[in-house]
């Protein structure tokens, strides 16, 4: 039998090597896009057991948009989250958001202009159900506000605030916000910056709750 042509002898071994090299190439995995401000929490179990982690502060941070608690006192753990209901087309006009729940037994809170974060407070007024505070961001500027809400027989009722929180542009973590309101010996206190102090020193004050 005659020997194969010179060109075949040189190129035949290259074919399996090329095939082996191609099989070893890593497969690129595509990451699913992150979707914000949607009722995505509705796809979770009845209670939101894992809250979003605290990211590096930026304008689009969405930490604490969802919390859990027995907000209507029926013995079942409910989920509450922030949801955008209307987007503004003008940069000088706020988006419109709402606080919604995973059960129709709890009414939706009224619409709120611009972004906010939810703070679970526990039972502050002794009615047996936990309250929710809202850390509300301004459209422009660095002065935020906090107001505390409870579910009454007539619907959601504001029982404290709003009171101002001048952040001077500094980021406030979820844990720092949770520490702003404390219940000690049946008295509710809140920590607020002293605006007459150039260092904005925090003062512990009694938080009067509306009956």
3-state SS assignment for residue 19: helix
Residue with tokens 């042509």: 5
Tokens of 123: 């039972």
Sequence-separated contacts (24+) of 43-52 with Cβ below 8 Å = 44/79, 46/76, 46/77, 46/78, 46/79, 46/102, 46/103, 47/77, 47/78, 47/79, 48/79, 48/81, 51/174
Query: What band does 198 get if pLDDT is binned at 50, 70 and 90?
Result: confident
To the nearest whole percent, how much of the chain has pLDDT over 90?
A: 53
- Predicted local confidence at residue 63, as pLDDT: 47
In this structure, of 27-41, 128-142, 180-194, the range with the lowest mean pLDDT score is: 27-41
Q: Quick check: 110 pLDDT over 70?
A: yes
Total residues belonging to the chain: 211
Query: What band does 164 get if pLDDT is binned at 50, 70 and 90?
Result: very high
Residue of 165, 172, 160 whose CA lies nearest to 206 = 160
Asked if residues 35 and 62 have their Cβ atoms less than 8 Å apart, the reply is no
Q: Which residues are CB-contacts of 66 (< 8 A; sequence separation ≥ 6)?
A: 41, 48, 51, 52, 79, 80, 81, 82, 118
Q: What ranges in 127-191 are assigned the alpha helix state H?
A: 174-178
The span from the CA of 117 to the CA of 64, in Å, is 6
The CATH code of the domain at 39-178 is 2.40.128
For the entire predicted model, the pTM comes to: 0.69
Q: 115 or 43: whose pLDDT is higher?
A: 115
The span from the CA of 68 to the CA of 37, in Å, is 17
Domain boundaries defined on the chain: 39-178
Query: What band does 177 get if pLDDT is binned at 50, 70 and 90?
Result: very high
**Cα 111 vs. chain centroid, distance in angstroms?**
17
Q: Quick check: 149 pLDDT over 60?
A: yes
């Amino acid at each position: 039998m005659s020997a194969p042509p010179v060109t075949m002898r040189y190129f035949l071994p290259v074919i399996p090597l090329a095939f082996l090299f191609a099989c070893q190439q890593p497969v690129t995995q595509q990451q699913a896009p992150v979707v914000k401000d949607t009722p995505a929490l509705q796809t979770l179990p009845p209670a939101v057991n894992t809250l979003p982690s605290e990211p590096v502060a930026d304008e689009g941070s969405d930490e604490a948009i969802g919390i859990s608690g027995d907000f209507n006192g029926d013995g079942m753990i409910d989920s509450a989250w922030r949801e955008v209901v209307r987007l503004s087309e003008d940069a000088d006009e706020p988006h419109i958001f709402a606080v919604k729940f995973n059960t129709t037994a709890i009414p939706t809170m009224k619409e709120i202009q611009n972004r906010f974060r939810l703070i679970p407070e526990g039972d502050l007024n002794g009615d047996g159900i936990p309250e929710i505070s809202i850390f509300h961001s301004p459209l422009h500027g660095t002065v935020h506000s906090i107001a505390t809400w409870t579910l009454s027989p007539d619907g959601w009722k504001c029982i404290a605030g709003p009171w101002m929180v001048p952040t001077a542009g500094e980021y406030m973590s979820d844990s720092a916000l949770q520490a702003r309101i404390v219940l000690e010996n049946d008295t509710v206190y809140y920590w607020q910056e002293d605006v007459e102090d150039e260092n904005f020193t925090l003062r512990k004050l009694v938080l009067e709750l509306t009956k």
